[in-house]
Structure formats: structure tokens, C-alpha cells
Amino acid sequence: MSWIKSGASAASALVAFVVFAMPAAAQVIYDPLTTQDVVTLLQQKGMEANVESSNEENEGDFVLSKFENINFWIHFTACDPDGTNCELIQFDAGFSFDDDDRPLLEDINTWNEDYFGKAGLDANGDPFVNIEINIVGGVTQKNLADTLSWWELTLQDFTDFIGWD
């Protein structure tokens, strides 16, 4: 009788493995995530996307794209010295203002208290916003697409917040 019981347990375990493994196997996982993976996703959304080379140490190539009238960059950072095996991607956009129209540091601090995305002022006092995403261990295609949607909302909110036309 024990062989029936152990056989049934083995069969149950096999069925459970197949059922739970199927959804994971159906997912596209980028490990490592490449600039071309990002370009493909952006182009599927109808956005322009180009890969540019970086001369920075410990930084991989980056993707230049555009959302509505806003240029942005996706940097691959925390990489090996040759620009591979990157641990982070950073979505980044900066905005140039005339002196009188720039948001103040207090405005940027308010943004950072209330909104998603980290904002700051560059050396010229112009605002920027970015988000960083850890990609160690890979990222699913669905997660990457969702991150891009969050970035688009962040850009919309930030440009409204700073009065960017």
C-alpha cells in the first residue's frame, strides 16, 4: 500500500510543479537586460529609440528616446568597467529654463516629498527627474513595460509641476 501512496505523492508533486512552473516559463525574462531589449519595447509602444555610446566608466551604453515632446535617457549604470553586467537602469530627463522661469529648490523639495521619481537641480539650476530600477537577477518584460508606464506618468506629472510647456 505504501507504493501507491508514494506514487500518488510523486504524481501530485509533478502536477503541482507543472502547474506552477507554466506561468513562470511563459514570461519573458531579460537577464541581462540589454539596450536592444529596451529599444524594442519603446518601438513597440510607437516611440523613437536609439542606442548611444557612453564614455563614462562603469556605465554601459544608453538609450535616447522621446515621450510626447520630452527627450529622455535610459542609462545602464553600476556596470563592470567594460560597460557590461549592469545592476541598474536609470530613466532620466532634464529641462532647460530661462532664469526667471526655473523652479526653486523649495519646489523640487516639495516634489520629492509628494511624488514618485527623484528630482533635483543641475549645476545650472535647471530641474531634472529620474527613477532608478534594480535589474540584478533579471527583469520580466511585463515589469519593464510597467516601469515605462510609470516613467511616462512621472514625466507628465513633473512637467505639469514645473510648468514645462
Position 143 in a domain: yes
To the nearest whole percent, how much of the chain has pLDDT over 70?
A: 85
Tell me how many domains the chain contains: 1
Which candidate, 91, 94, 149, 96, places its Cα nearest to that of 117? 91
Position 122 in a domain: yes
C-alpha cell at 80: 563592470
Position 23 in a domain: no
Residues 98-116, mean pLDDT to the nearest whole number = 92
For 68-97, how does the pLDDT look when each residue is reduced to its tens digit (9 = 90+)?
Answer: 989 999 999 999 888 888 999 999 999 999
For 9-64, how does the pLDDT look when each residue is reduced to its tens digit (9 = 90+)?
Answer: 444 444 444 444 545 557 899 999 999 999 999 999 999 999 999 888 878 999 99
Decide if 126 contacts 95 (C-beta within 8 A).
yes
* Domain that residue 76 falls in: 28-162
Strand intervals (E) in 4-144: 29-30, 49-52, 59-67, 70-77, 88-94, 118-121, 127-134, 139-140
Whole-number Å distance between alpha carbons of 14 and 30: 27
Assign residue 91 the CATH number of its domain: 3.30.1460.70
Position 1 in a domain: no
Position 88 in a domain: yes
Whole-number Å distance between alpha carbons of 37 and 72: 17
pLDDT at 4: 45
* Helices 141-162 and 35-44, packing angle to 10 deg: 70
Whole-number Å distance between alpha carbons of 153 and 141: 19
Position 22 in a domain: no
